[in-house]
Structure 1
């Protein structure tokens, strides 16, 4: 098996498993991706992470929401092992098969495929009772010029809401549903998610304002792609409120981006972010491994 690393004007193939020059033992350098969240870290080798290293990486992720680490070479086992440092690894999806029978945990996101070209703000599995908590993305192939990976901060967006709107959202829950995925279940057969057999994708409810289970910070837990309605709010009023929240959440002031080249690994806390990719012309292939979230919970009264 070969990996592909981009150099100007062409794709260069290198053997999977070859160790980059940098290592976790070398003091890393880092720089922010935006004023609000996200960080790039150089000088790490993520192929062989120790317990101490994973603790440091978790701290970085919880603090910054997104950690981009370029110049990595991971084989599938190393990719899955890295994700397992952050929790219990999920299947690639509840509805779409993974890389192959040997690696059902790896979701292949290929811009040339029917399921790989979603250039829209989205979360991952937010239409399930327990979404994905943390993702480990590994960019395998990118077009000349690379791929711009983009994120939104749920927490920045919540913090910027006016107090009256924060009070209005107290106790409001969103309905998350992706009925189009039932077509994939008919095509591929039943899926599995968190120990359950999935034969259809039913609506689920999550709080619009969620407390992060590890940091305690509050964020807007809506997904422009899957959040369909607001519970207990009249339909027309709910649509207007949801549109207002989506417009606010997707404002550029809450965004960070990263011009990724093949070999880039990105750790993403989906409890505090949303994501999308914007490509130059040409193929883009990402491998994604995720870990399970807990069921999202709203803050207690004294956290509002």
Structure 2
């Protein structure tokens, strides 16, 4: 008697992918709010701190609630595990965020999102180099197509407004590399601590570091001059650009893994491009259309072939 092949519904975690897509879409809005804050004269450090000032109380309240409702979680938090979770959280939500925010001071929100969008490729490479994953060579053409699209937009920017382009690209690319490495480390933390507990510890650590950095560089007096509009930007950035997407993304990682989660980010650049044109008034030329199409097509091919590779391996 022959066995029928498993259906696609059995092999695809729809909930996991939905969580990852939602997190990617919300995270993609942060560049818009950051640019609006920069336009008001807020520094990179203060913008990141505003985001974290809003987010920190939320994460601390959730953390206390988790520990109160589930006392057994406290037994998981050995000093070594706690320090590891704090370090991984600082890498993904402080270092990567700061590099991204700093890069946005030099490049457009559209270009920033597309450069950051290359992190799934680094997830793949780091998985092979450091975490024992198997290399899938059929993914290389998709990666090259996406990087070709970035080169198209990079060349246009270089001919029109080259000031700060190399610095901005390097900073955002550094953020993508850092975040890719974080995804592998975060999955291992969540397998032990769970998604919610790890997210609260990691984000709280990143928030304290970001706020402390701003207190040193900007001083407490700088916050007294912020208008209600600036505080509203910080509130929106903290809730919709940080708290909600961080839980959604980490929940996606815990269900479908780092590589699959990273491949769902293709919806993010579309959201950013639409908002950047409508809200920030950024240009969207034929070169932007061509480059964006190449990046998104490369990502779609990457995700499709990755899903097939996972199905064959399973």
TM-score (norm 1): 0.26
TM-score (norm 2): 0.25
Greater helix content: 2
Instruction: State the structure with bigger RCO (CA 8 A, min sep 6), 1 or 2.
Output: 2
Greater strand content: 1
